[in-house]
Amino acid sequence: GDSVTQMEGPVTLSEEAFLTINCTYTATGYPSLFWYVQYPGEGLQLLLKATKADDKGSNKGFEATYRKETTSFHLEKGSVQVSDSAVYFCALSETGGFKTIFGAGTRLFVKA
Amino acid sequence: EAGVAQSPRYKIIEKRQSVAFWCNPISGHATLYWYQQILGQGPKLLIQFQNNGVVDDSQLPKDRFSAERLKGVDSTLKIQPAKLEDSAVYLCASSLDREKIYEQYFGPGTRLTVT
């Protein structure tokens, strides 16, 4: 079945460091890919999405590119802030599907 | 616009007891989802409603879990009897309709501890 694998955390960075959180997926078709973020004490919220190969999703300085050849959707940010401390989930939804499959999540700590 | 509301936020029960969670989705959202998020894992879909009908409950442990969505608005998820492995955060989400799955809005969750 479809699945999402993302790097284990926690990831600890200093403010203004470069962030990469790796995500790879397995799917039978051509899924849409997402990154969700969960800030402490809050619900999950969609951070960015990409619906087809080579699409780049971006939001709040975060970016991820849909790489079909490597089945990857890595999350990047050039300069993290303390306020980016959260848990990040990579997820997919099959084309025409009505279900979202989530990865296990990666906790990010950013130190001042 | 009000978000997805859930209650209670926290619940501690003993195994074999019963528990119920409540969710109020965003007004006008036809699709409602219940997820189970075990510590260290991503959310797993338990059940999905379209209005007041169930469209996917393939991962709901039906021997102990039940859910309903009366009048296509609020929903309750019940566990009876609870087991230790049911300890998790239960998330409710809603979207305008099934096609807008990437526009799911999540509530803050109910953290259940079974002792």
List of chain A residues whose C-beta atoms are within 8 Å of the C-beta of residue B41: 104-105
The per-residue pLDDT for range B38-67, each reduced to its tens digit, is: 998 899 999 999 998 999 999 999 999 999
d(CA B30, CA B99): 11
- HEC-encoded secondary structure of chain B: CCCCEEECCEEEECCCCCEEEEEECCCCCCEEEEEEECCCCCCEEEEEEECCEEEECCCCCCCCEEEECHHHCCEEEEECCCCHHHCEEEEEEEECCHHHHHHCEECCCEEEEEC
* A1 or A11, greater pLDDT: A11
B48 at the A interface (CB within 8 A)?
yes
Q: What is the pLDDT of residue B81?
A: 96
- Shortest CA gap A15–chain B (Å): 25
Q: Nearest CB to A49: which of B42, B56, B102? A: B102
Query: How high is the pLDDT of residue B1?
Result: 63
Tens digit of each residue's pLDDT (9 = 90 or more) over B77-111: 999 999 999 999 999 999 988 777 777 899 999 99
